[in-house]
């Protein structure tokens, strides 16, 4: 009995240590987000680049160890995928593929993981316009699982997925929706104005049409195995 209690206490300590380590990684990732959370990264000098690279590699190493200890933990895989997505923003070697692999591993186990769907869609749509249609399917799937409450990252990602496919009228409608739903965000107004100008040059009299709250033709899909392999 004493041995069982000792084992349970030890296992509990290991669990707490792992949870604390994961929380620490997430906190430090948050501090990197303003710098490498988008492309191009907000890096002003070689010295700053070297510092960011060092911090990134330290976090990646810690996450590798945590994933190795708990390979079925979806949250850890999503977190590492998010980190590597940021790594891709400053062209870290292998980051795009690593991020894709992590999100696909999660979706292979749980196709309804909204974070993996949205982040993989974001990675694909902002890195390769030829993947825009696949990203659109991922954003639609995420919104399906979420329901009527809009996922801002999926809704904004949908704009780019439509735009890069040349679906300008649909992209315009989506930009109208983004402005109506998040009116204080200036970047959505910029997207709206840019798309309106494109339409003005190609389609006479394109009228503003607000998109539905939930994305139309909501379909559940998963990434095809040929992408990122």
Instruction: Give the three-class secondary structure for 97.
Output: helix
If one compares 223 and 120, the residue with the highest pLDDT of the two is 120
- Calculate Rg over the CA atoms of the chain: 20
Average per-residue pLDDT for the chain: 87
pLDDT at position 204 is 61
Mean pLDDT in residue range 112-116: 97
Rounded-to-integer distance, Cα 1 and Cα 3, Å: 5
Q: Which pLDDT value is given to residue 203? A: 66
Which domains can be identified in the chain, with CATH numbers? 1-37+45-110 (no CATH), 111-229 (1.25.40)
Query: Which contacts qualify for 64-67: CB closer than 8 Å, 24 or more apart?
Result: 66/18, 66/21, 66/22, 66/25
Structure tokens at 142: 């995420």
pLDDT in tens, 74-98: 999 999 999 999 999 999 999 999 9
Q: What share of the chain is helix, strand, coil (3-state, %, to 5)?
A: 70, 0, 30
Specify the pTM. Answer: 0.83
- CA 11, 17, 22, 23: dihedral to nearest 10 degrees? 130
Residues 6+ apart with CB under 8 A from 70: 18, 76
The pLDDT tens digits for 32-44 are 999 999 999 999 9
């Amino acid at each position: 009995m004493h041995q069982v209690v000792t084992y349970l206490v030890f296992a509990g300590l290991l669990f707490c240590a792992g949870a604390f380590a994961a929380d620490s990684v997430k906190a430090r990732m948050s501090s990197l987000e303003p710098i490498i959370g988008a492309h191009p990264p907000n890096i002003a000098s070689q010295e700053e680049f070297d510092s960011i690279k060092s911090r990134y590699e330290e976090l990646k190493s810690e996450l590798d160890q945590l994933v190795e200890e708990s390979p079925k933990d979806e949250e850890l895989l999503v977190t590492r995928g998010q980190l590597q997505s940021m790594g891709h923003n400053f062209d870290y070697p292998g980051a795009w593929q690593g991020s894709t692999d992590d999100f696909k591993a999660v979706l292979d186990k749980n196709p309804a993981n909204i974070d993996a769907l949205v982040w993989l869609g974001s990675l694909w749509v902002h890195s390769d316009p030829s993947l825009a249609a696949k990203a659109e399917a991922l954003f639609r799937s995420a919104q399906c699982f979420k329901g009527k409450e809009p996922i801002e990252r999926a809704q904004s990602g949908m704009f780019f997925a439509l735009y890069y496919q040349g679906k300008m009228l649909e992209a315009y409608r989506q930009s109208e929706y983004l402005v109506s739903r998040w009116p204080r965000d200036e970047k959505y107004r910029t997207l709206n104005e840019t798309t309106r100008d494109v339409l003005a040059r190609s389609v006479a009299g394109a009228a503003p049409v607000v998109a539905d709250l939930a994305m139309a033709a909501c379909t559940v899909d998963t990434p095809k195995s040929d992408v990122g392999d």
